[in-house]
Amino acid sequence: MKIRVGMGFDVHELEAGRNFYLGGMPLPDAPKGAVGHSDADVLIHAICDALLGAANLRDIGFHFSNTDDRWKNMDSTFFLKEVTRLVHEKGWRIGNVDCTICLEKPKVNPHIPAMKKILAPLMDITEDDVSIKATTNEKLGYVGREEGVCAYAVALIQKA
């Protein structure tokens, strides 16, 4: 069986008065929201980069440029669906994704089950194949100062 692994990372600035989207859903209790060209969902963007990297399809910015008005305020679940389609077109299937979100506030853990329900079908995998973890930055750096949010993702794909 042929397998490949890809790694993704994304970061966005946080700003008061903005909606905060993470894992394909709004977080209603967020004091700040991420700033970006699309909905700035760092988790989905990191997953997209991991999948694109594993399939040797470049990165999310290559496919969905932040200078292209078509993607302005776009729901990032659209990007993940398209990335899944691209991966499938190259003859690969997604095995699993493992993700870590770095954020001080709000607490992410209560929302992880709902995120998995949203993300799994977009990738044609089961919820058990989507691992999402959350951590703070122990008040260090831009994440610790609540200036930004970042996410890491690793994806395994296998030849169909």
Backbone angles phi, psi at 112, to 5 degrees: -60, -45
Structural domain range at position 26: 3-159
Q: Taking the model in full, what pTM does it have? A: 0.97
- 10 annotated as belonging to a binding site for a ligand: yes
- 135 annotated as belonging to a binding site for a ligand: yes
- 65 annotated as belonging to a binding site for a ligand: yes
Going from the first residue of the chain to its last (160 residues), give the mean pLDDT of each consecutive group of 10, the final group possibly shorter: 97 96 94 95 98 98 93 95 98 98 95 98 98 96 97 96
- 145 annotated as belonging to a binding site for a ligand: yes
- 66 annotated as belonging to a binding site for a ligand: yes
CATH number (domain holding residue 70): 3.30.1330.50
Which residues neighbour 68 within 8 Å (Cβ) at sequence distance 6 or greater? none
- 77 annotated as belonging to a binding site for a ligand: no
How many domains, in total, are found in the chain? Answer: 1
- 68 annotated as belonging to a binding site for a ligand: yes
- 88 annotated as belonging to a binding site for a ligand: no
Q: Determine if the peptide bond prior to 31 is cis (ω within 30°).
A: no
- 29 annotated as belonging to a binding site for a ligand: no
